[in-house]
Structure 1
Amino acid sequence: MATYRKLGRNSGHRDLMLRNLVTSLLKHGKIQTSITRAKETRRLAEKMITLGKKGDLHARRKALAYITEETVVKSLFDDIAPKYQERNGGYTRILKLGNRKGDGTEMVMIEMV
């Protein structure tokens, strides 16, 4: 059985939310979100970077199927992945920012290393 966080959403909403978070992280280099969302985003973003490092057509198509913007996929394969060619995982970093004012949720900044 796959272990993952449900994040209080049904499966379709959760999947699209995580796709958007991963796309934003790869597009902007860093995003601010809650700690539970960041941990799930990290898991998926690292898989996308690993696909980028493979660099073949099959990997590109798998990335295009997940990432919502074609320009981000091009950037992933041409700019981001080559930077991590010598690195075996650990492409992202999570920095704690403190609690959100409204509901006290722990907020973090997830960024590319």
Structure 2
Amino acid sequence: MRHGKKINHLGRTASHRKAMLSNMACSLILHKRITTTVAKAKALRKYIEPLITKSKTDTTHSRRTVFSYLNDKVAVTLLFNEVADKVAERPGGYTRIIRTGFRLGDNAETCLIELVDYNELLVKETADSKSKTRRSRRGGKKKSEPKNVAPVAEEVEETAVDEEVKNEAATGEVEESNDSDSTEEKPKSED
């Protein structure tokens, strides 16, 4: 039994697991999303999120530490330049796992793991939904409008309607309605 064991060894030796997670992390940084199994994605999440957090402080020491995990200069450069800028204000949770079903060959559960800030569709939706207001079930007191505001608003609407009528009359765009034309049915041609 594996009571209290927090690391999924993924059926691999330590060196194989380290190399696999390093390669997957580099691929995730380069491509922003990869398809893999759920077990590997959960292991990758634990592996890469501390590296992304370390990339927020761009020092020589943090670059060398991250390079010891990734062993890829291009991935480290991309992580510290591009990815770190995107996730600078995010306190954690840099990756998202989206389950995609089961693999045909061995019925393993597959998923898509991606960097959260690079999914443009979801980023736009969250930007629109941030302007939510707080709602209470109690109702609370409603703000009362000053009594002088309502008559002024009615006068503004009346003057706007009068100006539209004057503009239409001046340009000659007054529409005449012909009820007889619109109600007549046209004879259908038979083929």
TM range (shorter): over 0.9
For residue 95 of structure 1, give the secondary structure of its aligned residue in structure 2.
Answer: strand
Alignment deviations for residues 49-89 of structure 1 (CA, whole Å, 9 cap, x no partner): 11110211111000111113101101111110111111100
CA distance in 2, matches of 1:100, 1:2: 27
Higher strand share: 1
Q: Hey, what does 1:15 align to over in structure 2?
A: 18
Q: CA RMSD in A?
A: 1.2
> Which range is displaced more, 46-55 or 95-104?
46-55
Q: Hey, what does 2:89 align to over in structure 1?
A: 86
**Is 1:58 equivalent to 2:67 in the alignment?**
no
Q: Hey, what does 2:126 align to over in structure 1?
A: none
CA distance in 2, matches of 1:89, 1:43: 12
Higher RCO (CA-CA < 8 Å; seq separation 6+): 1
Letter aligned with residue 12 of structure 1 = S
Q: Hey, what does 1:33 align to over in structure 2?
A: 36
Rg (Cα) greater in structure = 2
CA distance in 1, matches of 2:5, 2:75: 27
Letter aligned with residue 24 of structure 1 = S
The share of aligned pairs that are identical, in percent, is: 40
TM-score (norm 1): 0.95
CA distance in 1, matches of 2:65, 2:72: 13
The 1:62/1:5 distance shift into structure 2, 3 A limit, reads: same
TM-score (norm 2): 0.57
State the number of aligned residues: 113
CA distance in 2, matches of 1:39, 1:87: 20
CA distance in 2, matches of 1:12, 1:29: 25
Consecutive unaligned residues in structure 2, runs of 5 or more: 117-191
CA distance in 1, matches of 2:27, 2:71: 9
Deviation at 1:2, TM superposition (A): 7.1
Deviation at 1:48, TM superposition (A): 1.1
Q: Hey, what does 2:7 align to over in structure 1?
A: 4
For residue 54 of structure 1, give the secondary structure of its aligned residue in structure 2.
Answer: coil
Alignment deviations for residues 12-64 of structure 1 (CA, whole Å, 9 cap, x no partner): 11111111111111111001000000001011111111111021111100011
